[in-house]
Structure formats: structure tokens, C-alpha cells
Chain A
Amino acid sequence: MNGWDFFTYFSSILLAGSAIWIFVLFLRDAKGIIQGSREIEEPKED
């Protein structure tokens, strides 16, 4: 395995790891945000 191979494996792990990590954080945030944004806005309209 030469340096380019290593760089490619490293990039693959970095990309897949980042995508999974970001997706987990997204799932944690998404539903609450969609519901929460309306809850925040409603008092302002009153």
C-alpha cells in the first residue's frame, strides 16, 4: 500500500464517518426543530 492508497482509505473513512455522525446529529435535531420553530414564532405573532 503506497501513500496514495493510504490517502484514499483515509478519505473514505473520513467521508463515511462524517456522514454517519452528521446524520445521527441531524436525526436528533430535525423533528424538534420543525416543531419548535412554529412554537417560537407563534407568540411573536400575538
Chain B
Amino acid sequence: MNDHKLPYSHGESDQAGAGLAEENLLHRGAPTQMTISPIDLTIVALYVCVMLGIGYYVFKKSPNLEEYLLAGRSMTTPILVCTLASTYYGLDVLFGTSEIGFNDGVVAFFGYSELSLGFYIFAAYGLSRKLKQARFTSLPEILSRSYGASAGYLGAVSSILFSIPALSLFALGRLSYVMLGIDAQIGALLLGSIALIYTLWGGLWAVAITDTVQFVFMCITLAIAVPLLMSQVGGFETVAANVPSTHFDLLGGIPFWLMVAYAATGISILVDPAFYQRIFAAKSFSQVRNAMLIALVVWGAYDWLVTAAGMLARTGVELGTLPAGLHSNDALLTAVVMALPVGLVGFFLAGVLATSMSTIDSYCLVAGGNFSYDLYRPLLKPDASDQELVRATKIGIGISWVLGFLLAFLFDRLMSLWVFNASLLTSTVLVPLFMSLFWKGRKTPAAGVSSFLFGMVSVIIYYFGIAQLGSYDDTWGTYIWTVEIGGNPYALWQEYALFFSLPISFVGFLVGNVFGTPLTPSAETVEVAP
């Protein structure tokens, strides 16, 4: 078997990395419905009730805007670890990494998963300190402080588009069919509405506390399931005897530039608005730094266990203990449900559902905050009261959820483009954002806007140009355009978009800086770089 599909964009959030893992989960035909015991279903139902209860508990406290959007800037290390881990380790990692483990072996861990962790270390030490010092409320606010209102609006629209939870709602629908036997649209409507309700009620506190419950469920059930699965299969000696030997190649023969491209996808965490929101919500720089360093250890262990689960499931298929036609994307779910006893399966399934719900809640909240704080307040009502902004945030949350649902179930063609929005956000926002934070010299509004626009145009041209000029590669599951320069062939993959768009965005910054005029002191400009 050589179903060597490209993975999700690892190192990104579930939202950003929603690519192939969720797409496969949703698009590859009729799924196999699982048989779940009544005890496990009861546990899942109780879990859903607990989520709503948490939201209602926070709702009764009538949070103000800072509490609603940023949990009063009082999050400590433990809850930050949980919410970071839950937000960034969603269905993409759960199903994507195990799928690569199933098809290709340990490269899922050593090749795809761990190379991008350097960005997290930079984020822990370099980025979070800057962001805490400047006391921002949202990612677009960083742009508007350095480049003026126009750049802030562009950043807000880009962030909202990125945050619309179309893929997550789609995946939730599919999961609810596979696990609970509910029609996908109705499942997404019911379970997605629960995520919507507790987010509307409780804001970031509700999101973070539910993330925490999910984090604990997933970590503990996975830590129990994989050793049980290993003992049922017969350990890695049995794995080695039943899977191709290439499954133990650490880097698995992946083309060098593709490896670099996947390591580079970790860069998207540096523009992810949900990540920024958690930094802004931290009580102090040291709390968020410690949380990220602890999360790195947790992520490493989690990555290996889902990789191992994929390899063990493959061995189970070869030995006949798992169905012969098992799709690699179903490997983890099927194998873990087989390995765990009744009761723990319920906790695991609740955790899987919550993994999808935690993405929906987090990004709806981000979109709501962008709508109220970055668009409604500066454009329509600069003197809006705190409660008006909370109300506007809730309206924004509702709009983003509805748009996500419509995209997920009514506009299939648009959905297939949605996997591209992480590259779009990175290409448009990264350069102006980092120049704002780390460049001490002159910055003009034109630089912010042109950097954004150059990045946007270049990534769109590249992405669709490769699709038009190249051909679809079935082995890798992507478009590749091979060009000859000086007699030598060079393969341009769609995944290389950032190699082109980021330098072009930087050129846009330089051009705008040369021709533009810096903001006047009376304008709302704050130098972030020390």
C-alpha cells in the first residue's frame, strides 16, 4: 500500500491545518458507521451537558468585554496549556498523523510533526513577550497601531475569513454520523449549536474550560488506548514483521523541499489569531511562556502516540484483527475503539467530538471579536460601551457560525477552496505583523497595506497558477508543475506557495515604505518595537 498523501499542514491549528485530514474525513464517500454501547453514548451525552453547564456558569457572571474576549487577561499556566494544546491538536493531528503513521510509518513523527516545533519555541520566547508588553486585544489591532486604520481593517477581514469554521462544522457532521448515526447536517447543526451556545454564553472562559476538559479526556484515553492496542497487536516486533521496512525510515524518503515546506507550515502559528488571543489572555509573559514549553512536551508525546496508533492499526489490518478494507483515515478511531473497554470508549469519543467543537468555539470567538472590536467599534461606533461591544461580539460569533454552516453544507465548490485560507492569512499578515513588532525603523500605512496586498495577490496567483499549469499527482495528492530551467527540471508544488508569497509581501512592505508617509503623531500609532 502506498497511499502517500500529503498530510495536513502540521503545526497549524485545527482550523489552519484543516486540509487533507478533515477533507478526507469528509469527502471520500460513505463512511462506516460505528457501533457504540449505550454506556458510552450516555457518557458522550453527559459530556455535552457539562459543556453547556460550564458556559451557563460563566454566563451568569455577565462578563465585560475584556473578560469575554480575553478572560480578564488572567489565565494561568495550567489552563493555557490545555487551551493551547486543544486548539492546536485537533482532528488534523488525530486523524492526519495517524493516517501517515498507517501509510508511511515513523516519518509521521520525525518528518512531519516535530520539524515545525522550532516555531513554537520562537513563539514562546520571542513573540509572546512582545505581545504581552504591548497589551493588545486582537491581532488586527497590532496592524492598526503601526499602519493605521486601513491595515487594521484588512487584517480584521483576513482574520474573520480564516476563522469561519466551515471545515470544522463539516468534520463535526461527519463524525456525528460515524459515531452516533446522526445525519451529518443535523449532527453539525445540533453539536455545532452546543459549541455556539456555550461560546455565546461564556466567551473565552467557557472556551478555555471546555478545552481543558477535552484535553484531559483525550490525553488520558489515548495514553491508555495505545499501550492496550500495542499489547493486543504484539508490540513493535510484530509491527516490524508485518509492515514495509520503510515504515521505520525516520524521514521516509520525502523530497527535501517538501520537508522544508512542511516544516515551514508551522510558521502559520505566528499569525494565528486564536494563538494571539491566548497570549493576550495570559496573566503574564512567564505564564504563557511556561505554558508553551509544557505544551511542547505534551505535543511530542501525543504526536508519537497517534503515530504509533496508526502503525499498530496497520499491523492489525495485516494480521486480520482489523477489517481488511479499513481506510487509513479511520485507522485511529477504529483501533482505539477496539482497544478500549466500554466506558473509556465514551470518554474517548467525547474527546474526539470535543476536539472538533473546540475549534468551532475558539474561531467563532475570534471572528466575533474581530467583528466588534476591529470593525464595528472603529468604523461605526467609536464610543460604544462595553456591553454594546459584548453584544456586537456575540452577533459576530453567530454570523461566523452561520457562514461556516452554509459553506460546509450548501456551497461545496467554495468549501474546496477553504483549505487554502491558512496560506492566505500567512501571506497577507505575517510580514506587516512582524515588521510592526520587530522593526524599529520607519513604518508607513502604505507599507502595511501594500505588504498585505502583494502577499494576497502573489499567493492567489501561485496557488491557482500551479493548479492550471501543473497536473494533479495521485501519489502525493497535490498539484505539481515541473519546469525546465537550463536543462534541469524543477518541480513546483502547490505547497511551496509561502516560499514565493512571503518574499513578495516583504517587497510590498519596502515599496510602500519608500513611497508612503509615516503616521502623524496625532494618529493612533504606538511603536511596538523597543
Residues of chain A at the chain B interface (Cβ within 8 Å): 1-5, 7-9, 11-16, 18-20, 22-23, 25-26, 28-30, 33-34, 36-38, 40-41
B300 to chain A, nearest CB (A): 8
Give the residue name and chain of the B residue nearest to A19 (CB).
B219
Asked if residues B67 and A19 are in contact (CB atoms below 8 Å), the reply is: no
28 CB contacts below 8 A, A to B, read A1-B235, A5-B230, A11-B300, A11-B305, A12-B226, A14-B297, A15-B220, A15-B223, A15-B302, A15-B305, A16-B220, A16-B224, A18-B294, A18-B298, A18-B301, A19-B215, A22-B81, A22-B82, A25-B76, A26-B79, A26-B82, A26-B212, A29-B79, A33-B76, A34-B205, A37-B72, A41-B67, A41-B72
> Which of B483-519 touch A at CB < 8 Å?
none
Do B78 and A8 touch (CB < 8 A)? no
Q: Does B222 contact A (CB under 8 A)?
A: yes
The contact of B78 among A3, A5, A11, A29, by CB within 8 Å, is A29
Q: With contacts A8-B236, A41-B67 known, is A20 near B220, CB below 8 A?
A: yes
Knowing A2-B237, A16-B219, A22-B81, the reply to whether A8 touches B74 (Cβ < 8 A) is no
Is the contact region of chain A dominated by helix, strand, or loop, or is it mixed?
A: helix
**A residues in contact with B294, CB < 8 Å:** 18, 22
Residues on B with C-beta less than 8 A from A25 are 76-78
Partner of B226, one of A1, A3, A8, A22: A8
Q: CA–CA, A26 to B222, complex, Å?
A: 20
Q: Which of A8, A18, A19, A40 contacts B308 (CB 8 A)?
A: A8
Q: Tell whether, in the assembled complex, residue A37 and residue B71 are in contact, meaning their CB atoms are under 8 Å apart.
A: yes
Q: Does B169 reach chain A (CB closer than 8 Å)?
A: no
- What's the minimum C-beta distance from A7 to chain B, rounded to whole angstroms? 7
Q: How far is the CA of A16 from the CA of B230 in the complex (A)?
A: 17
| A21–B298 CA distance with the chains assembled, in angstroms | 12
B142 at the interface (CB under 8 A from A): no
Supplied contacts A19-B219, A22-B216, 13 more A-B pairs, CB within 8 Å: A8-B230, A11-B308, A12-B224, A14-B297, A18-B294, A19-B220, A22-B78, A22-B294, A23-B82, A25-B77, A30-B79, A41-B64, A41-B72
Closest beta carbon of chain A to B114's beta carbon, Å: 13
B61 on interface, CB distance cutoff 8 Å: yes
Q: Distance (Å) between the CB of B348 and the closest chain A CB?
A: 13
Residues of B within 8 Å of A14, CB to CB, are: 297-298, 301
B392 at the interface (CB under 8 A from A): no
Which residues does chain B contribute within 8 Å of A8, judged by CB atoms? 226-227, 230, 236, 304-305, 308
A14 and B296 CA atoms in complex are apart in Å by: 12
Question: Is B61's CB under 8 angstroms from A15's CB?
Answer: no
Q: Which residue of A3, A5, A13 has the most chain B CB atoms within 10 A of its CB atom? A: A5
B58 CB–A CB distance under 8 Å: yes
The answer to whether A15 and B222 touch (CB under 8 A), given A1-B235, A23-B216, A34-B58, is: yes
Known: A20-B220, A41-B64. A5 touches B298 (CB 8 A): no
Minimum CB–CB distance from B221 to chain A (whole Å) comes to: 9
Q: Mark B52-91, 1 if CB is under 8 A from A, else 0.
A: 0000001001001011000111111111011000000000
- Determine the distance from Cα of A16 to Cα of B215 in the docked complex, in whole angstroms: 10
**Please, which residues of chain B bring their CB within 8 A of the CB of A2?**
235-237
Which residues of chain B have C-beta atoms less than 8 A from A26's C-beta? 78-79, 82, 212
A12 lies within 8 A of B75 (CB): no
* Chain A residues with CB below 8 A from B73, complex form: 37
CB distance from B308 to the nearest CB of A (A): 5
CA distance A22 to B79 in the complex (A): 8
- A40 in complex: contacting residue of B74, B227, B230, B237, CB < 8 Å: B74
Residues of B contacting A12 in the complex (Cβ-Cβ under 8 angstroms): 222-224, 226-227, 301, 305
User: Smallest Cβ distance from A18 to chain B, in angstroms?
Assistant: 5
